[in-house]
Structure 1
Amino acid sequence: MTTIGVKRSAEVIVETASSKKLKLSEKVEEEEDSLDELDSKDELDSKDENSKEDEDENLKEDTDKEDGVETSKTSSKEAHEAQRKLLQDRKIKRKSGIEVEQIKKLWEKLRVRNPPVPKEVRKKLSDETWKLCHGVIGDLVLKHDASRVVQTLVKFSSKERRDQICKELEPYYYPLAISAYGKYLLVKLLHYGSKESRTLIINSLQGKFRKLLRHREGAYVLEDLYVLYSTSKQQRQILREFWGSKYAVFSDDSMDDLTIQKACAESPEKRRIITSNLATAIQAAVEKGSTGFQMLHAVMKEYIKVFEGDEVREFIDLVKDQVAEMVHTPEGSEVACTVVAMANAKERKSILRGLKPHANLMAKNEYGYTVLQMIFMTVDDTRLVDKSFSSEYSESFVEILSDKYARRPFLYLLNGLDKAYFSPKALKELEKYLKLSEETSKKPQEKRRKELLNCFMPLFYKTLSEHAYELLSENMGSQFVQELIMNNELPEESAELREKALGTIIDGVKGDITKESHLIHKKYTERLLKSLLQGGKWNRERKEVDQIAGIGIGYDFAKKFASQLFDSGEDEEALKMWISDNGGAFVLVGLVDCFKLHEKDADASKLLDSLRNQKEFIEQHEENSKGAHLLRTILD
């Protein structure tokens, strides 16, 4: 295998699983709209138009020379009429020529969108069109204008008629798949067709899937067929064809449970044939520029299950510069994580260089963030990781830390593989990749994590300082801030930054709490403040707070909070505003919990007395506020 440069755009990463990448079936309607602007002409029409332009030019020159001779104009007009008549005669004399001309006239009426054709009229036109198409449909589907007639017919027909069209087109599925115009009809059949019709199409194409993946047009059809319209059983059937001809020709139900590992374990020779076939198909597809296709990622996933020795190095060498095109699909993400885990230092440098321009898109992707996670967990050169990604994230880090997926690798830097953020399934997958990296990653994992945490910690606090409201107004971002503040692994380096951050949080919740934009109305802000006041996280198992000492939260934070927001209890109006707000009342509950442990302290007793003096006001709100009810309870 040889190294192939990145050929596709960075936008291929986005996908929105859910993705995600624009499928060919979504382009069918766009293709119809753009083609509707053109006249319905076949190749002879184009030739007629070109010859007309050429002849007009020649006649213009002749008439210019003869300066208005009437005979030249008459001859030109007669010549044009004769040529048009000749072309029309040729069309009619073609196979099914008369029917095609009649069909196109009906289609011109059927395809009108503005105003929409009434349902009854549309049904009548569809019936008439089908009568003319029936028996000659194979002569229509490979021409761009006639193919669009059949597309429209498929769109507006009943299930029974669609099934009829599918059966009649069975001999033409492969030519349609590799046709610049026919592929749209085939995708339309998949989109509107029944389960039986889709099965018919897949079975008809069996034995040709490898050719389709290497074909410029066919690759798009195969992508939609595999990703959107195949069942899991059919997907396995498609993938088995890439193992070799035997599995393409003799595929049946007995092979349904056959995995590639079992097939390769039957004999060394069989393993060699299967891996060779997969490697050849992958290389050909990569060289064709199909690295972004999920279908190819699935084939790669099959290959990495059984490759070994030199095959590993050859595969990594082939895809190391194109990992960015693979991270947006579940199969591609798994392949990319395996490549990162098994790559050596030099190969990882190439991978990171290719991923750097796409760092933001990768981190926010449903599957791409896992690749960033593996980079953090396996690449020993932490300076290279910092250099590759810190600058890319610096401008948009507030979005990264508030994103459902992108924040997870950075939560790993703060807390390790915390089960609160990583599911058992995710932990199992990560453990698999770590095992693969044992030969190429020599640095202890915890040492690598703390080195990266030291690199990113200033950026975390800088983002909080400059974008406090944006970060705290998002539940995900506010949750990240809590984990950041409560991380005490680097106390000396982050003590000053943490102190400033706590001041920033207090400043963020100052002001008129009755305003809808106030942070207290954001769901997680209340929890963040309560945790900081109580001095740690709530432990669900033990039903108590796990105190974290020495980092400025708990009583130290509570005193600053009470002093700056309530003037240590003397600002009755501010206290009443917080009591009357349900979220604010819950924060006061946390403040009271903390101060009751230090009631002998003058500042604590002063605020508690002020709140007890507001008992009547609290009772007025407890009927409609759980926070006020709880506050009255703990003050008694």
Structure 2
Amino acid sequence: MAPAAKSPKRKQVTENDAERPSKKAHKQKKVEEVVEEEEEEQYEDTEMAEEEYEEEEQEAVEGEEEDDGKPKQSSREAHEKQKVLRQERKSNKPGYEVITDAKKIWEKLRRGDCDRDERIKLMKDIMELIEGRVSDLIFKHDASRVIQTCLKFGNSAQRNIIAGELTGHYLVLSKSMYGKFIVTKVLEYCHKYRDTILSELKNNIRKLIRHKEASTVIETFYGQHANAQQRKALLAEFYGPEFTLFAKKSKDAEIHTIDELLEKHPEKKDGVLRYMAETLGGCTDKGTVGNSIIHKALFEYFSRADEKGIQNMMEQLKDQLAEIVHTKEGSQVAMLCIAHASPKDRKHLIKVLKPFLNKIAKDEYGHLVILTLMDVVDDTVLVSKAVLGELSKSMTELLQDKFSRRIYLYLLVGRNTKYFHPSTIQLISANDEVRSKTSKKDPEVRAKELLTATSSSMIDQVTEHTGELMREKMSSQVVREIMLHALGDKTAAVDAILKLCDDNIEKENHIIEHRFANRAIKALIKADTAEASDDRAVEPLGFAPKLFDTIQDNLVHFATSQGGSFVILSLAEEPSTQKKTLAALKSHKKELKAAAVSEAEGSKGNLGAKMLLDLLDK
């Protein structure tokens, strides 16, 4: 019988072998131990640790005194003894003498009244102390401030020496409570080391952006110092580890954006979106969703995910929506959330945004989110009370702000290119298609209901704050549109404007002569007969005849003044006041000619007065 074939020998796994960690695990454990040691060292340098140590010393001193049976020392003696012990403990730390000497120089260097020559000398002295020892000082909170100051005030060569010594430490520094500030200073002052920092952070962006300390470094890098290529590199790690700019494979080395990625690897779309959803979901859990790099990644995800993916991400994001509206991409994500949300979710989103509405309204991108709420939410009663009603508490201030005034202009004139740049209109209208699927109410009906609900409060603002609003450039335009397009009785507002027009003509900055206010007044004069619908009042104002009666006695004064002549010209061109105005000016041609001809060489004179003369000569 043939002998049985010998089976290949297998290496027996002993109990000790099973417990022995792998090389990778051992390496990871070693890194974790280093980080733990650094964190412990950071903690020891805090004031809390100092206080705890002093308390222990005090107890020890008191205990020794009681054991010896000797009388207790006075508080001063005990304090002196503690001071000596503390000094001994500090002096035993590595680098103590260097840090002490460097801090003495730093105290002078950081002062605002330190002149240039002295600062150069101090920088030279401090560099002699720390050069070659920078990596030993970076995790100490006091020494960290010294390094930051050196990076701020040093010359290019000195900064590069420090940055060079930090090479290899940037990843750990980014996670440090104190070290992160050094990294941000290197990013700010040492341009040539930005790529070095990026290379050290590579393949860790996903973890770092969710780290309490390191997320500050990533955001500072992405938002303030990175060029286009570096931004793409930072974002690439959101798409998956195998598709970063740092990929070693040549076929992936040319991928710079998610569009290029999906074009080259369309089969990977689902996997990439899953990876992005997992990463971004972690950011919402860790509270780092306020970073602009997250907003960009969120927008890329929302722009490509299906409805289910959008709903899942929105569920994680909805309680933190107010944190993302301050950037362009963040506001677009918020607008998409509102557009895709159900009526119940929209109500919740309004509740989340309500405490911050005033701040959001004044933001360059945040106000677009409020416009989207006005565009898509069918419950106009909710919007008029919870959103516009909340804003009305500070409407006077909002009407004068460059961005928040657009909320009221949007109510009054819609997407008018006179006040909204085409690119802004494009951002707002991007959600129209989604709105058609998620909202039932006709857009024109919705807009009319909101205008009706808000008109009375806008008219009241003009009535109560006429002078303030009309003399301000931004708000004077809103006053014009309120008087033309708001719905309701405007008699009180018209009377308030006429009262200002009747002020003493000797008063400085008279409303008719004011460069912003008189534009609104001219528009009101022509409001009843203007050909263009944008310039015509929705309800007759009868402003021109009332204004003529108010300023009739001072007509010549305004006709010959630089600011007021065009207001009088508008009265002379308006059919309802044309005859009376020209008749009143006919006997004052001499004054008009004097105003029209300027004595100053090269000046064109009063153009309004010239045009009035032309009308009189016809």
TM-score scaled by structure 1? 0.81
Offset at residue 409 of structure 1 (A): 3.0
Change (3 A) 1:545 1:525: farther
The answer as to 2:560 corresponding to 1:563 is no
> Structure 1 198/336 Cα, relative in aligned 2: closer, same or farther at 3 Å?
same
Residues 337-376 of structure 1 mapped to structure 2, 5 A cutoff: 337-376=335-374
Q: Which residue of 1 aligns with 2:591?
A: 617
Q: 1:438 to 1:550 in 2, by over 3 A?
A: closer
Of 241, 244, 263, which residue of structure 1 is paired with 2:240? Answer: 244
Give 1:526's match in structure 2, choosing from 503, 518, 525: 518
Residues 41-440 of structure 1 aligned to structure 2 (within 5 Å): 49-58=54-63, 66-67=70-71, 83=85, 87=89, 90-91=92-93, 94=94, 97=95, 100-112=96-108, 113=110, 116-194=113-191, 196-248=192-244, 249-250=246-247, 258-264=256-262, 270-440=268-438
**CA–CA distance in structure 1, aligned partners of residues 79 and 594 of structure 2:** 96
Q: How does 1:513-552 map to 2 (within 5 A)?
A: 513-535=505-527, 548=536, 551-552=539-540
What residue identity is the alignment partner of 1:395? Answer: K
Q: CA deviation at 1:422?
A: 2.1
Deviations 1:24-57 (A, max 9, x none): xxxxxxxxxxxxxxxx989997776444433444
- Give the direction of change, closer, same or farther, for the CA distance of 1:575–1:375 in structure 2 (3 Å limit): same
Q: 2:573 aligns with which of 576, 593, 596?
A: 593
Q: Aligned partner of 2:297: which letter? A: V
- In structure 2, the gaps of 5 or more residues are 1-44, 599-604
Q: Tell me: CA distance 1:163–1:444, structure 2 relative to 1, closer, same or farther (3 Å).
A: same
Paired position in structure 2 for 1:482: 480
Deviates more, 1:126-135 or 1:455-464: 126-135
Inter-partner Cα distance in structure 1 for 2:195 and 2:529:
54
Contact kept? 1:390, 1:456, Cα under 8 Å: yes
Distance in 2, matches of 1:546 and 1:303, equals: 40
Q: Are residues 561 and 291 of structure 1, via their aligned partners in 2, closer, same or farther at CA, if it must alter by over 3 Å?
A: same
Query: For 1:64-89, what per-residue CA distance to the aligned partner results, in whole angstroms no more than 9, with x for missing partners?
Result: x644799x999x89987985685366
Change (3 A) 1:391 1:60: farther
| SS at 1:552 equivalent | coil
Counterpart residue identity of residue 633, structure 1: D
Q: Relative contact order: is structure 1 or structure 2 higher (C-alpha 8 Å, sep ≥ 6)?
A: 1
Given that residues 512 and 521 in structure 2 are in contact (C-alpha distance below 8 angstroms), is that contact kept between their aligned partners in structure 1? Answer: no
Equivalent residue number for residue 635 of structure 1: 616
Contact 2:322/2:352, CA 8 A, preserved across alignment: yes
The one-letter amino acid paired with 2:221 is L
Work out whether 1:577 is the aligned partner of 2:561: no
In structure 2, the CA distance between the partners of 1:390 and 1:429, relative to structure 1 (3 Å rule), is closer
Distance verdict in 2 for CA 1:546–1:401, change over 3 Å: closer
Q: Secondary structure at the match of 1:214?
A: coil
Moved more, 47-56 or 442-451: 47-56
Counterpart contact for 1:530–1:590, Cα < 8 Å: yes
Equivalent position amino acid for 2:158 in 1: R
Structure 1 spans left out of the alignment, 5+ residues = 1-39
CA drift of 1:265 comes to: 5.2
Which amino acid in the other structure matches residue 239 of structure 2?
Answer: W
Listed one character per residue, the Cα deviations across residues 610-632 of structure 1 (whole Å, up to 9, x for unaligned) are: 21112222222222432222222
* Cα distance, 1:177 vs structure 2: 0.7
Determine whether 1:500 maps to 2:481: no
What does 1:452-491 align with in structure 2 at a 5 Å threshold?
Answer: 452-487=450-485
Q: Which amino acid counterpart does residue 626 of structure 1 have in structure 2?
A: L
Which residue type is aligned with residue 287 of structure 2?
Answer: G
Offset, 1:130: 2.5
Deviates most, 267-276 or 53-62? 53-62
One-letter amino acid of the counterpart of residue 472, structure 2 = E
Q: CA deviation at 1:275?
A: 1.4
Task: Give deviations 1:83-122, integer Å, cap 9, x for gaps.
Answer: 568536633xx4xx3xx51343143124315584454444
CA distance in 1, matches of 2:114, 2:430: 58
| Cα deviation, residue 404, structure 1 | 1.7
SS at match of 1:228: helix
2:415 aligned counterpart, secondary structure: coil
Deviation at 1:518, TM superposition (A): 2.6
How far apart, CA to CA, are the structure 2 residues paired with 1:176 and 1:373? 42
Q: For residues 77 and 45 of structure 1, do their structure 2 counterparts lie closer, same or farther at Cα, with a shift above 3 Å needed?
A: closer
Change (3 A) 1:146 1:548: closer
**Compared CA separation, residues 537 and 307, structure 1 to 2 (3 A):** farther
Q: Relative to structure 1, is the Cα distance of residues 256 and 226 closer, same or farther in structure 2, using a 3 angstrom cutoff?
A: farther
Aligned 1:436-455 pairs, distance under 5 A = 436-455=434-453
Is residue 265–residue 271 contact of structure 1 (8 Å, CA) maintained in 2? no
Compute the RMSD of aligned alpha carbons.
Answer: 3.3
The DSSP-based 3-state class of the residue aligned with 1:583 is: coil
1:309–1:268 distance in 2 versus 1, CA, 3 Å: farther
**2:40 corresponds to:** none
Deviation string, structure 1 residues 588-617 (Cα, Å, up to 9, x no partner): 0000111xx45xxxx754442221112222
- Residue 342 (structure 1) shift: 1.1
Assess, with a 3 A threshold, how the Cα gap between structure 1 residues 149 and 537 changes in structure 2: closer, same or farther. farther
Deviations 1:313-365 (A, max 9, x none): 11111112221111111121111011111111111111111112222111111
Tell me how far 1:129 sits from its aligned partner.
3.0
**1:258 & 1:86 partners in 2: Cα distance?**
56
Contact 1:537 1:546 in 2 (8 A): no
510-519 or 254-263, which deviates more = 254-263
Amino acid at match of 2:126: T
| Shift in Å, 1:475 | 2.1
Q: What is the CA-CA distance between 1:239 and the residue it aligns to?
A: 0.6
The residue type paired with residue 53 of structure 1 is Q
Q: Secondary structure at the match of 1:328?
A: coil
Residues 307 and 528 of structure 1: CA distance in aligned 2, closer, same or farther (over 3 Å): same
Distance 1:428 1:332 in 2: 16
Distance 1:136 1:396 in 2: 56
Q: In structure 1, how many angstroms separate the alpha carbons of the residues matched to 2:390 and 2:485? A: 24
Amino acid paired to 1:202: L
